[in-house]
A and B are shown apart, each in its own frame.
Chain A
Amino acid sequence: MGKTKKTLEELEDERSALEQEAYDEKTKLLNRSQFQELLELQNEEEPEFVAEIVEMYLADAKEMLNELSKLFSEEKVKEAEDGKPNYNTVRAVLHKLKGSSSTFGADGVQQKCEELREHCINEDLDKCRTGEGSLEELQSNVDILSEFLAKYTAKIKEIYELSQEAKADE
């Protein structure tokens, strides 16, 4: 016996539940109004829009995290004349990540950027590397967001495909 196919209503409920999870104050994954606006940009003619934006934002974020990782690496710090990471460059990268995160609606990532920025201002290398407000935490936040967005975009694809099937049956 095959699996019972979900109805459009069930899928929409699942999508709503995912959104609630993202907008929850405790998880701080996504900003409701900013992300909703992005979702509204997707339509029948561009059913891949949100998936494309997600891919773009995450690729960009990961590139910046790699850059930050290199800037805080033992190698780079030892190379420096003053034995410190280039905090100005770190702050510039953080600023860029913060900007794209705010447009995308990734509030949690934005907040972690600010926390790390504070550690940079205080030139506290240990706190920059691990613990609260560290690069490690920022990376973890991006990973969690990435997992969530994979689930979410898969869900909206499922909804789109089912709604197309329903139209074809009419």
Chain B
Amino acid sequence: MIHVLYAEDSVPTQFIIKRLVNRIDDIELVCVNDGKAALDYCKNAKDGNKRPDIILMDCQMPVMDGLQATREIRKLDDPILSRVPIVAVSSGIKSMNEKDCMDAGMDDYVAKPLNQQALTNIL
């Protein structure tokens, strides 16, 4: 079972992605609404929450954006969590391009819209 954390502030997008992921076997998806929630989820992972095996991180979110959340996750003490694969999911905003995402510590970059094929490839 692959445990996926998806950080995305758009509720309709979350809803659609949940349904798309349902069609892929052995994936458990948890959604959070912003970068800080993603960071907190990772911090609490030792205390009962399952550790994410991969994080799909929307770049632009309120409270804390995807790049900042990634930088913070990379600073965590836990050696496994701090190296969790993080995939940037971007709407193509210029100030958060692929290079910026990689510099922030992300491992891969995909452009929206996420669809079945893109999800299958990533996961």
Binding site for A on B (CB under 8 A): 9-13, 15-17, 19-20, 23, 58, 60, 62, 91, 93, 112-116
Q: B13 to A49, Cβ gap below 8 A?
A: no
Residues from chain B with Cβ under 8 Å of A60 in the complex:
10-12
Selected contact of B12 from candidates A34, A37, A49, A57, CB within 8 Å = A57
CA distance A52 to B19 in the complex (A): 12
Known A-B contacts A49-B19, A56-B12; the reply to A103 vs B112 at CB < 8 A is: yes
B91 to chain A: closest residue by CB: A99
Total interface residues in chain A, CB < 8 Å: 21
Nearest residue, chain B, Cβ from A38 = B16
- Closest chain B CB from A34 CB (angstroms): 6
**Which of chain A's residues have a CB closer than 8 A to the CB of B15?**
52-53, 56
* A contact residues around B16 at 8 Å (CB): 38, 41, 53, 103-104
Contacts A34-B113, A49-B19; is A103 near B93 (CB within 8 Å)?
A: no
Most buried by A among B19, B113, B116: B113
B57 to chain A, nearest CB (A): 13
A50 → B minimal CB distance (Å): 11
Which residues does A use to contact B, with CB under 8 Å? 33-34, 37-38, 41, 49, 52-53, 56-57, 60, 92, 95-96, 98-100, 102-105
CA distance A41 to B93 in the complex (A): 29
Q: How distant is A8 from chain B, measured CB to nearest CB, in Å?
A: 26
In the assembled complex, how far is the CB of residue A159 from the closest CB belonging to chain B, in whole angstroms? 20
Inter-chain contact B60/A103, CB cutoff 8 Å: no
